[in-house]
Chains A and B, each alone.
Chain A
Amino acid sequence: MSKVWIILKKEVLDSLRDYRSWLTGLFWAVFGPLLIGGMLMLIGSSVREDIEKPVNLPVQNPGGAPNLIRFLERNDVIVEKAPADPEAAVKNGDVNVVLVIPEEYAEDFSSSQTATIQLIMDSSRQSALTDVSRIQDLLELYGNYVGLLRLIVRGVSPEVVQAVRVEQKDVATPQSRATFFISFLPYFIIFAIFNGAAPIITDTTAGERERRSLEPLLINPVPRRTFVIGKLLAAVPFSLASLAITLAGFGMVFNILPVEEYLGLRIGLNVFTLFLIFLICLPVVFFASAVQMVVASFARSTKEAGTYLPFIALIPSLPGLALAFFPVKPALWTMLIPTFGQQLLINQFMRLEPINISNAIISTTTTLLMSAAITFIAMKLYERERIVFRNS
């Protein structure tokens, strides 16, 4: 047991001095919080923009339709002077939309003819579409409003002309997009655990072989399994640090940003929940180290290991992806899959849903058992002659 401690101490010291690799690991730990935080801020600002920001509308010949202009202004539209060449200005993207009121408008309008106005816009420009559709809606509203008034003046009920009324209800709000991204949050946590361990595992296995120090090391009177356990445990503090940093990052994002206002959805990430998530993720720390150790033991060089390990860290994202599209209830079978069960539990914590204690226990136990089994495989790999001499 004391040999495990000696190996662990040496590997931790060695890895700590290799600050470039663990800094890379830490980058991945803050990556998730930065990405989701940044996205929330973008959505937050667009939500506020949509509600509060008035639309600027350049109008050519506003004097031709004073009533229409007054109507627009009452509805948060700021009427501006139109550019000299409206079509060119829209084409260039200088303005989103221009309203042109022809000279004959006033005459047509007062004689109750259909008065034509022109809306110049570029439908291929995504960013202008919000403004365009809002102006379109307002203009249509104005047209209907005036039409209704005319019918009422003539003694006809407005409902006669409106046989069908379409009420649109768009459920695709910026909020729902945000919720989609937030369903990746559990995966980012798992990802941080894997990436925290990866550089240390790589260096202590493939790296040891690459620098040709494995052979002298294994001649020492220490059972191979002791080396495996020591090296595996050396990755644990780095993985734990990565997990803690990611959780702290998410904690900051969700407690500093007014997420509830942005999303209309309460995300429960207070200190206590973060701590519970930390506990739920502990078995994954061992799992990630063991899996990556087995994979890195096959690699001839750190470079080769560096191509395998990121791929391994991506595998737990697959259930997470599925989760984003098809919500899965945390049933028993989901708890039997390491990393998947934890992701579902984190999701429940986040959404303030009640946690089924037996689910947490099953998930923890199976993940620990799997980690032990995989560690056993790593020990068997290290017993082989091939671990030192590739040609044998």
Chain B
Amino acid sequence: MIEVQNLSKSFGKVKAVQGVSFSAADGQITGLLGPNGAGKSTTLRMLYTLLKPDSGFARVDGFDITTAALDVQSRIGVLSDAQGLYERLTARENIRYFGQLHDLNGAGLEKQIEQLITLLDMYSIANRRTDGFSTGERLKVAIARALVHDPRNVLLDEPTNGLDVASTRAMRQFILQLRDAGKCILLTSHIMQEVAALCDHIVIISKGTIAAQGTPDELIQKTGKSNLEDAFIEAIGSEEGLE
């Protein structure tokens, strides 16, 4: 459960995010949709505690992102834009390190790692050093280490960015699986079709503010358009970012 109230963040004179409010429920996929530079990543970075909001607040499972950062961190799994791995460690060692940082250890941790390796079908690469992994293989390691502590909330920043068709499909399947497991999923995307295909709740963000939000049906109703694509353009007031 993620609640965002009136969140704002500026970098110098650039107002990246201004007064953003929305909430993301458990067992649902919430999509932050908007053109590049709309403030999606900045919002997410505040939620995963690496940026401090200038004003407003946000809570993850009731824990405030500024005053209870460590509690928030242990309740979220994050696939950020930066997905660097330790190339001299094996895939398994990469995942284990993050598990240990989440206070997991021993048989419990190894079992959890084993489950993720099965889930993400990465047996063949689990004990290889990640140096030389393909984009898809790297992504699997990044996802596994982000979810090793079985977080209730999953934040994904442009999860299908740079993936080929097959990997994109696999990724979407995986996200749906997470939703069915009852997790609260918040993802960003600039691709309308992706958000339309996946999300239960859509938050359209443009120039740092929220243009519209609701279920796909609600959005179509609100804007009086016949399809989601037109609704999106109506909401942000331009065709930029449409792909």
Contact = CB atoms under 8 A, between A and B. Distances in A.
Interface of A: 3, 6-7, 10, 13-14, 17-18, 208, 211-223, 385, 388-389, 391-392
Given A3-B101, A216-B145, A218-B50, A211 B84 contact: yes
A370 to B, nearest CB: 30
Contacts of A391: 11
B74 A216 contact: no
Which of A14, A221, A222, A223 gathers the greatest number of chain B CB atoms within 10 Å?
A221
B163 interface: no
Contacts of A213: 82, 84-86
Contact of A219 (B50, B52, B71): B50
B102 A220 contact: yes
B178 to A, nearest CB: 17
Given A6-B101, A211-B84, A216-B82, 7 more contacts: A14-B88, A213-B86, A216-B145, A217-B101, A219-B78, A220-B73, A392-B51
A31 B89 CA distance: 31
Contacts of A385: 50-52
B21 interface: no
A223 B49 contact: no
A220 B82 CA distance: 14
A14 B82 contact: no
A14 B96 CA distance: 14
Contact of B82 (A17, A18, A214, A392): A214
Nearest to B16: A392
B130 to A, nearest CB: 10
B98 A220 contact: yes
Given A14-B88, A213-B84, A213-B86, A221 B70 contact: yes
Interface in B30-72: 45, 48-52, 70-71
Contact of B74 (A211, A214, A221): A221
A212 B82 contact: yes
Interface of B: 11, 45, 48-52, 70-71, 73-74, 76, 78, 80-89, 93, 97-98, 100-103, 142, 145-146
B66 to A, nearest CB: 12
B97 A212 contact: no
B236 to A, nearest CB: 24
A6 B50 contact: no
Nearest to B52: A385
A215 B80 contact: yes
Contact of A389 (B51, B73, B93): B51
B73 A216 contact: no
Contact of A212 (B50, B78, B83, B89): B83
B84 A212 contact: yes
A18 B131 CA distance: 12
A18 B102 contact: no
A223 B71 CA distance: 11
B51 A17 contact: no
8 contacts: A7-B101, A211-B87, A214-B84, A215-B80, A216-B82, A219-B49, A221-B101, A221-B102
B142 A216 contact: yes
Contact of A10 (B45, B82, B83, B97): B97
A18 B87 CA distance: 10
Nearest to B146: A216
Contacts of A220: 73, 98, 101-102
Contacts of A219: 48-50, 73, 76, 78, 80
Contacts of B51: 385, 389, 392
8 nearest A-B residue pairs (beta carbon): A213-B84, A212-B84, A221-B73, A212-B82, A220-B101, A221-B74, A215-B82, A211-B84
Contacts of B142: 216
Contacts of B80: 215-216, 219
B50 A216 contact: no
A6 B84 contact: no
A216 B83 contact: yes
Contacts of B82: 212-216
A13 B45 CA distance: 30
A391 to B, nearest CB: 6
Contacts of B50: 215, 218-219, 385, 388-389
A6 B100 contact: yes
B11 A392 contact: yes
Contacts of B93: 13
Contacts of A18: 88
A35 B83 CA distance: 45
B184 to A, nearest CB: 16
A314 B49 CA distance: 39
Nearest to A223: B70
Of listed A13, A208, A216, residue having the most chain B CB within 10 A: A216
Nearest to B70: A221
A75 B30 CA distance: 101
Nearest to A215: B82
Contacts of A216: 78, 80, 82-84, 98, 142, 145-146
B72 to A, nearest CB: 8
Contacts of A6: 97, 100-101
B17 to A, nearest CB: 12
A388 B82 CA distance: 10
A56 B23 CA distance: 98
Nearest to A220: B101
Nearest to A16: B88
Contacts of B71: 221
Contacts of B74: 221
